[in-house]
Amino acid sequence: MRKDFYDSLEVDDPELREGALFGRLPNLIALALSGAGWARQLGSVDPNMVTSREALANIPVLRDWPALRGDDPLFGGLVISQRGRTRRLLMTPGPVFHPDMDAKDWWGAARALFAAGMRPGDVVLNCFSYHLSPFGFLMDSGAQALGCTVIAAGADDAIAIAEVIRTLAPRAFVGSPEFLKRLIDVSVGRNATATIRRALVAGDPLTTELRREFASSGIAVQECLIHPDVGIIAYESDALDGMIVNEGLIVEIVEPGSGEPVADGEVGELVVTAFNPDYPMIRLATGQLSAILRGRSPCGRTNMRIRGLLGPV
């Protein structure tokens, strides 16, 4: 395996990958049906019949997410895990609550961090929030799985964090592009961000202007797409040619409202199916627009590519 890939899954034959995912899908649906929440959502779906994209498209899209959860039981019966596996209860605005399970790289972040140039032994400055939010822990777990040391900085005080950078000399940054710009701005004249060479960002738009500004500061920045109930959906590689779908996910682009898949290249809503045995997701509507990019990434990774986020539905 070449050193520029996280593992061999990234260069699998696309047809073999697709066949393997849909070969596992009936078992995922059967597992989900053991939970009261998924039993309500999926109704009379026969897991053994869902072995293709066409069959998957007949399953209702999961929408109105907070309302479906309820609070009895916690997470609306959509978490399928053994007692004692949940290590954190986290929250995004709404409020919407999310679990974090006791497992290595449970959110699938290590692959995106690797694609952004982070390697074992790197010191990574994590400026996603750890306060209730899933995103700080999401990136923290991925960086640790990769063998990195994490500075759990959050995003409260750019001036204080700039001083931390001067002392601890991290090589990489994760957080929002807006906060990375703030760090650069407060470091003018003090060269505090000089050690940072790689960054993986999400949350705010990464504009062409911002990417150019980061490059002028010597920082190669790549973007990823995160959902708090899935983890990393897709990520950029150094080819900077679309976002590559994370392994272990089925991504569809569908007509908003109907859930019918659109043709490759057409804009539609991003829908995700995730093979997480603790917290399965089957046709989760993200509320965001995207489109499939035809062909393979110039970097050599073979999974489906999307154009990134094109706005809310």
Preceding omega of 26 cis (within 30 degrees of 0): no
**pLDDT higher for 310 or 51?**
51
Lowest mean pLDDT among 63-72, 151-160, 293-302: 63-72
Enter the pTM of the model.
0.95
294-299 average pLDDT score: 94
Cα distance between residue 6 and residue 100, in whole Å:
23
Per-residue pLDDT tens digits for 241-277: 999 999 999 999 999 989 999 999 999 999 999 999 9
Residue 234's SS3 state is strand
Cα distance between residue 284 and residue 94, in whole Å:
17
- Angle among Cα 212, 215, 219 to the nearest 5 degrees reads 140
Cα distance between residue 127 and residue 136, in whole Å:
7
Domains of the chain plus CATH, in order, are 1-72+239-313 (no CATH), 103-228 (3.40.50.12780)
Cα distance between residue 77 and residue 68, in whole Å:
9
pLDDT above 90 (res 3): no
If 0-12 CB within 10 Å is exposed, 13-18 middle and 19+ buried, where does residue 30 land?
middle
